[in-house]
Amino acid sequence: MKIEHQDETQGNALRNAFNEIVGKGQDTFTPTRVVISKAKGVHLWTADGRRLIDFTSGVLVCNLGYNHKGFEKRVKAYSKGLPRNAYNMIAEIQVTASRRLRESIGLPQADRVLWAASGSEGIQKAMWACLARYPERNIMVATRAGFHGKKGLANDVTGEASANPDVRWLSFPLDASADPEQFRGELDALWHTHANKIALLITEPYLGARGSFHPPKWYHPLLQDWCRRHDIPFIFDEVQACFGRTGEMYAFQTYGVQPDMVVLGKGLANGEPASAVVGRGDLIDALGYGGASDTFSGNPRACAAVCATLDIMEEEGVVEQARKTGKRLGEVLARLQQQFPFITAVRGEGMVYGVEMVDGAIANRCVLEAYRASAETGVHFLGPLHGKVLRVSPPLVLKKKNLAEAEELLMQAWERV
């Protein structure tokens, strides 16, 4: 689909050139197809000079914003003189990053780390570890409508159906009125049918790709209790939820659980490709040499970025600031819902919300109008989730004045919808 914007000579030329060279499967669809020339803090600048307030963090990645001076300085210092790749070699920064991540997680049972280069790779490695630890077990339980990735086992446990005959599904509550007894019944039925054959249970803190559904606080403890009772590893997929996004450093803290394995990604390294599994040693050590190896995992540059991210979050109190900003963000979105009848629901917590529209056409129009809010400025969203839900996930360093400006621009822009 060809996308062109009025008065974007440079942007239109670059969009067309990109589309002639790169397959459309490279990206998901976003109606703006923004072309950027620079980024700093919470702002993006288009190739034609317009300034946008970013409501995406890339895709929940740049929690510290773009080109954070302190972060960039730390990454450079931590990785000085080191090769960008150190396959089957060990650099001190790799030891430091692994140790700091384990200490930051703070779970007594999470004493081992496995590195990966993307979220789906991290998920797959966590699942491999569980299957290796319990080779006599073949059943994998996943909560419905989750998104864990597009590769291998991560894809097998994504969505609500699977080509893998060993995957079983458990419902995920989509509203606060859900009855805990329904889920206890489903869990008991799974155990009755597959006793001693279940290798793992994997879930997300909230359903992001499904449209930002955040479960009642009893849900994850219910799953954890069942797993503990039956010696089933409990995997928490925090790829999009870690490092402050839900209002705590880690989403398992938000939901009051202590998983056997926590998978981290996206915001973990503030834009550098990195993910990690932090979990039980008996699970991770079930994989022998080569069982989880690949070319780029845990390279010095990625480990430097993780250390730099931890430094800035600790020194600048990023999570505490984001918790306050997240409350204001929720209030802004509630006011927008009151103003515009085409907004049917607002769901979220911390610095991640879903704004549901009446239909996909309106949702896409809202993305476009936000982008075009004024001649000089706009607000940047990605394309709708699940057809009609806009994800709101600004960098955690969003300031009160940035949020106020964004609200004014959206009020102005969505009057045209």
Domain boundaries in the chain? Answer: 9-60+318-414, 70-315
CA distance 36 to 221: 43
pLDDT digits (tens, 9 = 90+) for 40-62: 999 999 999 999 999 999 999 99
pTM above 0.75, yes or no: yes
Which helix H or strand E contains 132, and what residues bound it? helix 119-133
Asked whether the predicted pLDDT for residue 176 surpasses 90, the reply is no
Asked whether the predicted pLDDT for residue 1 surpasses 80, the reply is no
**pLDDT score of 115:** 98
Asked whether the predicted pLDDT for residue 165 surpasses 80, the reply is yes
Contacts of 47 (CB under 8 A, 6+ apart): 8, 10, 11, 14, 35, 36, 37
CA distance 109 to 111: 6
Q: How far is CA 134 from CA 1, 129, 138, 286, in A?
A: 48, 9, 8, 9
Contact 331, 406 (CB under 8 A): no
* DSSP state for residue 321 in the 8-state scheme: H
Asked whether the predicted pLDDT for residue 188 surpasses 80, the reply is yes
pLDDT bracket for residue 304 (50, 70, 90):
very high
pLDDT digits (tens, 9 = 90+) for 61-102: 999 999 999 999 999 999 999 999 999 999 999 999 999 999
CA distance 325 to 364: 26
pLDDT bracket for residue 125 (50, 70, 90):
very high
What phi and psi values does residue 281 have, to the nearest 5 degrees?
-65, -35
Q: Which of 146, 159, 415, 396 is nearest to 263 (CA)?
A: 146
Task: Using the structure block, give the residue that is written with the tokens 């446990």.
Answer: 157
pLDDT bracket for residue 243 (50, 70, 90):
very high
Q: Which of 45, 81, 40 is nearest to 64 (CA)?
A: 40
pLDDT digits (tens, 9 = 90+) for 100-122: 999 999 999 999 999 999 999 99
pLDDT bracket for residue 152 (50, 70, 90):
very high
Q: Which of 244, 233, 278, 267 is nearest to 99 (CA)?
A: 278
Contact 220, 204 (CB under 8 A): no
Mean pLDDT for all residues in the chain: 97
CATH number of the 70-315 domain: 3.40.640.10
Sign of the four-CA dihedral 274, 14, 385, 320: positive
pLDDT digits (tens, 9 = 90+) for 356-406: 999 999 999 999 999 999 999 999 999 999 999 999 999 999 999 999 999
3 state SS of 233: coil
CA distance 236 to 333: 28
**pLDDT score of 2:** 87
Task: Using the structure block, give the residue that is written with the tokens 């959206």.
Answer: 410
pLDDT bracket for residue 217 (50, 70, 90):
very high
**pLDDT score of 414:** 98
Same topology, domains 9-60+318-414 and 70-315? Answer is: no
Asked whether the predicted pLDDT for residue 268 surpasses 90, the reply is yes
Instruction: Give strand ranges (E) for 108-217.
Output: 110-116, 139-143, 167-170, 198-203
- Averaged over 285-305, what is the pLDDT? 96
Domain 9-60+318-414 has CATH 3.90.1150.10: yes
Contacts by 179-185, CB closer than 8 A, 24 or more apart: 180/218, 180/219, 180/222, 183/219, 183/222, 183/223, 184/222, 184/226
How many other CB atoms are found less than 10 A from the CB of residue 90? 10
How many other CB atoms are found less than 10 A from the CB of residue 253? 16
